[in-house]
Structure 1
Amino acid sequence: MLPIHVTNETSRLRAVILGTAVSNGPTPTESEAYDPKSLEHIKAGTYPLEADMVPEMEAVAAVFEKHGVTVYRPELIENYNQIFSRDIGFVIDDTFIWANILPDRLREQEAIKYIVDQINPAKVVTPPEEVHIEGGDVIVWNDHIFIGTYKGSDYKDYITARTNTQGVDFIKQLFPNKIVKEFDLVKSRIEPRDNALHLDCCFQPVGKDKGVIYKSGFREEADYLYLVNLFGMDNLFHIDREEMYNMTSNFFSIAEDVVIIEKNFTRLKDWLNGHGINTEEVPYAEIAKQEGLLRCSTLPLLRD
């Protein structure tokens, strides 16, 4: 059996599923775009190429190897985007939960089934059809589970709304002893600078007691203040609209004192280093054009 265990975002990582950019397929048409940032780059002719994205992902794989992390990769599907493994499933405590994702992406789940099949089947959960939830919206933080959602009555009209209130209720029922806190996120179909696609696009914990946050990603100030009260203002690194657009909060922690970041995030790097957190820098700006970054392309299976 493959052991799984994840109780927070920063404990020492032992095993992870890292997506792949190999055989990523042609540039999508405008109507095929899942998010406004991809659409922006499709229209501009700057959508990322496989030749540029493969080295970015392999740089992450090399960092994992350096730190002794076991890395699993999805089975290869020809001409298919398999970069963002975080969306398709996630681990809370010792339970693996399949995400209910956009129907066009179901083959991504089939490609990691060979890994999930090694987990104790009693610990693998498939939500019912009405439950929408993606891993980018789920952040585990010890006794808390933070979940990004969208509570607007026009939920069904937004391809950028990925986790519904039924998804929140499902997690509450599955983990009755956890504090499950949902956050109503700002969504846009047309302006990526005003679209928090997932919770990890506007907030992520780091280290023992710190976090990176974008205040305007939350529809309700009370949700933002909840995190301020929990972590303390002095422990939060606030990013601006352009930094949110560049996915600055979408780094990935290997341990409490080791974080992988995009190499251009110099302001974040200085803040992390100033708090005793070492940074492993990788190029990831091409992948970021698809409104996803380091946390989006990793699915942690085992942390200490």
Structure 2
Amino acid sequence: MIHIANPSDIGELREAIVGPYKTYNWWNLIWGSVRYPDLASLRYVENNTVRVPNHDIARRQHDKLVQTLIDSGVKVHALASLPDVDIQLYPRDIAFAVDDTIFLSRSRDPIRKKEQRALEPYLTEFSKVKRIESGHIEGGDVMVTDDVVFVGLSEATNLQGISALRECFSCAGIDREIVPIEFSGRGVVHLDTKFTMVGPKLGYIHSSSLTPYSRSQIASRFELIEANDMEARSLMVNTVALAPDRIIIDSHARRLADALRAHDVEPVPLDFSEVTKFPGGFRCATLPLRRDKVK
């Protein structure tokens, strides 16, 4: 039995799921940039030419992330490779955990629906599972704080999906407020490309991507470290917490790392630059199942 527990997205991480690294080609990247124009950056598009990752390097970078999790005491489960799905790097999008329940996302993307089949062997092992029955919502939009749950209204998540999540919370006995977060423009793939929790009451944010009201909702609960346009576009905001005071971040995010140290949070820098040529970062690449309560 896998006992689900996610009281906060920065609680010490004990158990998580990762996807398999699979080689993919230029068409997969083009399709990714069409689906996620907000993340189409010079990291994988140069002179209007798609730069396919060096798969030897990318595989090593993904392996390094997994090994870092294991070395930090995290029990890691790897999803099986599905023959009809080209990319399974980002399991965060197909499910997410809140408190004692894992919720199966409801994606508008047919590829993501296929990808979710890789979770089927685990469903009987999870202590509590709920399926979103209407609308659309993906895990990259769901941020679990100590009290409320932020949900981004991105290209992947809509109001009907948020309403369905509220109904699932009621059925699961989860007494939490869901706070929708709106963006200032179209094209944002997920909330966790614009805001993540990087410590107790501390977050990375790209403020211009959010409406002023939504930013104020976050700022009322967190001290915020501002990411500039380049840092946000390069997915430096997309981090994953090993513990309240240890955060995996992009090794190129030196300014943001210094800001963490100033708040007594240890950055754990890793190079993910080849992997993120198909848009996705460290938070996307991990699906936490069990975290400790933040003291």
Normalising to structure 1: TM-score of the pair? 0.86
Does residue 215 (structure 1) correspond to residue 207 (structure 2)? The answer is: yes
Consecutive unaligned residues of structure 2, counting only runs of 5 or more, are: none
* Counterpart in the other structure of 1:134: 138
1:44 pairs with 31, 46, 49, which one?
Answer: 49
1:167 pairs with 128, 136, 161, which one?
Answer: 161
Q: What CA deviation, in whole Å up to 9, does each residue of 1:65-119 have, x standing for no partner?
A: 1111100111012462010111000111111111112112223211122223311
Counterparts of 1:50-199 in structure 2 under 5 Å?
50-78=55-83, 80-101=86-107, 102-120=109-127, 123-128=128-133, 130-150=134-154, 161-176=155-170, 177-188=175-186, 195-199=187-191
Q: What CA deviation, in whole Å up to 9, does each residue of 1:130-186 have, x standing for no partner?
A: 320000000000210000004xxxxxxxxxx10000111122223352121001124
1:206 pairs with 182, 198, 201, which one?
Answer: 198
C-alpha contact 2:130 2:168 (8 A) present in aligned 1: no
Does residue 26 (structure 1) correspond to residue 18 (structure 2)? The answer is: no
TM-superposed CA distance for 1:207, in Å, is: 1.4
Distance 2:31 2:15 in 1: 36
Distance 1:85 1:49 in 2: 22
- Distance change >3 Å, CA 186–CA 24, structure 1 → 2: farther
Q: Which amino acid aligns with 1:88?
A: I
TM-superposed CA distance for 1:211, in Å, is: 0.8
C-alpha contact 1:89 1:99 (8 A) present in aligned 2: yes
Higher mean alpha-carbon deviation, 90-99 vs 166-175, is at 166-175
C-alpha contact 2:26 2:50 (8 A) present in aligned 1: no
Query: Over the residues paired in the alignment, what is the CA RMSD in angstroms?
Result: 1.9
Does residue 283 (structure 1) correspond to residue 276 (structure 2)? The answer is: no
- Distance change >3 Å, CA 198–CA 263, structure 1 → 2: same
- The residue matched to 1:175 in structure 2 has which SS? helix
Structure of greater relative contact order (alpha carbons < 8 Å, 6+ residues apart): 2
Distance 2:52 2:182 in 1: 29
Distance 1:19 1:267 in 2: 29
TM-superposed CA distance for 1:31, in Å, is: 4.9
Distance 2:129 2:280 in 1: 26
- The residue matched to 2:125 in structure 1 has which SS? coil
Q: Which amino acid aligns with 2:213?
A: A
Q: Which amino acid aligns with 2:191?
A: L
Q: What CA deviation, in whole Å up to 9, does each residue of 1:22-69 have, x standing for no partner?
A: x33323264564212359736423132432321111111111111111
Consecutive unaligned residues of structure 1, counting only runs of 5 or more, are: 151-160, 189-194
Q: Tell me the matched-pair count.
A: 280
* Counterpart in the other structure of 1:265: 253
Normalising to structure 2: TM-score of the pair? 0.89
Higher mean alpha-carbon deviation, 173-182 vs 86-95, is at 173-182
* Counterpart in the other structure of 1:228: 219
